[in-house]
A = this chain, B = another copy of it.
């Protein structure tokens, strides 16, 4: 099966940094949770383990979603688009997806021409990451 997953990774078009954008969507509600990036290893690990893994551009390494916060994403369906240059992972999100404690990252919206916060945190950052953060 891991050979098969390598073949899937071969189908994807990674950019000049070796990355592909990945949209995470809650599988049942349709809520768009976040967008992050995967490299080839992250794609294969996600498909192999059923736990969504990204590549952290800031830390320069694989980012197993939830490894610090416990807010894991369990893979329900792995899809990609007509150009094979964007991934859509349909997931079951454990807890909240956003590092601010909000359910999803898209809580800034334009209302009457102005930036407006449309969702509040459901969990404190201290609860998510512990006192050291």
Contacts and interface: CB of A to CB of B under 8 A. Distances in A.
A110 B21 contact: no
What is the copy number of this chain in the assembly?
Answer: 2
Contact of A32 (B1, B32, B118): B32
Nearest to A98: B82
Interface in A9-68: 11, 21, 23, 25, 29-32, 34-35, 47
Interface string A60-79: 00000000000000000111
Contact of A23 (B30, B35, B78, B102): B35
B109 A78 contact: yes
Contact of A35 (B77, B86, B110): B86
Contacts of A79: 106-110, 118
A118 B80 CA distance: 11
A105 interface: yes
A130 interface: no
A110 B78 contact: yes
Nearest to A58: B83
